[in-house]
């Protein structure tokens, strides 16, 4: 079975390929390998208020263009002191909407710290959330959710990872997601948990 992963992020693709690539008989393709060129419409595929709706929207859109089973995910961070924000707006949280890549990550982290200024450590609880949706034959066939609980620090720590990882402290590990290696992060992360659940469902297929 060929399975297309609908992301342009090399970091995410690397994480996902390591997990799904372990499923027997599954050939994991990125969008370039599936022959799907970059389209400006891709920027408008996540207008919804839930992770599952956004993931389904992306999976359906790319599925229509490649004709192969397609999985897409939507993920973000929910901060309790902000009533669950940024949530589905995690990628474009900072006011500086024109930024991309590392500058965007840094702006998002700085904006989050500004909003949490003065909040005590016990009030800075948060969770990373990821929902992965598989579309086959024009419709959703699987949806898997993964969560990773943590605490938002008041300053970044570590140089690995991406997004909010330097601020996201895992109490059980005693480190941020930016202070652990890729294998350790895959074992703990929201995306790792969602895609391992998806991989387990795929293994069960005849």
| pLDDT tens by residue, 60-92 | 999 999 999 999 999 999 999 999 999 999 989
CATH tag, 2-203 = 3.90.950.10
Q: Does residue 125 register a pLDDT over 90?
A: yes
Of 119, 142, 117, nearest to 131 by C-alpha is 142
Percent of the chain with pLDDT over 90: 85
CA 53, CA 42: separation in Å to the nearest integer? Answer: 15
Report, as an integer, the average pLDDT of 98-116: 94
pLDDT tens sequence across 149-206: 999 999 999 998 889 999 999 999 999 999 998 888 888 899 999 999 999 999 998 7
Whether the pTM exceeds 0.85: the reply is yes
H helix and E strand count, the chain = 5, 7
Structure tokens at 205: 């297929």
Residues with a catalytic annotation lie at 74
Residue 19, pLDDT score: 92
Element (H, E) at 176: strand 175-176
Question: What band does 9 get if pLDDT is binned at 50, 70 and 90?
Answer: confident
Q: How far is CA 37 from CA 6, 31, 33, 49, 135, in A?
A: 12, 8, 10, 27, 19
3-state percent helix, strand, coil for the chain, nearest multiple of 5: 40, 25, 35
Taking every pair of Cα atoms in the chain, the longest distance, rounded to a whole number of angstroms, is 54
CA 47, CA 155: separation in Å to the nearest integer? Answer: 31
Classify residue 127 by burial, with Cβ atoms within 10 Å: 0-12, 13-18, 19+: middle
pLDDT tens sequence across 179-189: 998 888 888 89
């Amino acid at each position: 079975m060929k399975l297309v992963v609908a992301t342009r992020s090399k970091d995410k693709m690397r994480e996902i390929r390591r997990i799904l690539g372990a499923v027997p008989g599954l050939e994991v393709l990125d969008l370039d390998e599936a022959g799907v060129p970059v389209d400006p419409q891709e920027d408008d595929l996540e207008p919804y208020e839930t992770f599952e709706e956004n993931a389904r929207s992306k999976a359906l859109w790319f599925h229509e263009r490649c004709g192969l089973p397609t999985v897409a995910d939507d993920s973000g961070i929910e901060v309790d002191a902000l009533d669950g924000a940024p949530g589905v707006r995690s990628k474009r949280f900072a006011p500086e909407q024109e930024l991309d890549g590392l500058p965007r990550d840094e702006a998002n982290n700085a904006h989050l710290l500004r909003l949490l200024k003065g909040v005590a450590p016990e009030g800075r609880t948060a969770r990373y959330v990821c929902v992965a949706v598989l579309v086959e034959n024009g419709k959703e066939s699987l949806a898997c959710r993964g969560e990773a609980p943590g605490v938002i620090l008041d300053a970044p720590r570590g140089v690995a990872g991406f997004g909010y990882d330097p601020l996201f402290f895992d109490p059980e590990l005693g480190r941020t997601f930016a202070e652990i290696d890729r294998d350790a992060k895959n074992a703990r992360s929201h995306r790792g948990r969602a895609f391992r659940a998806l991989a387990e469902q795929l293994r069960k297929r005849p």
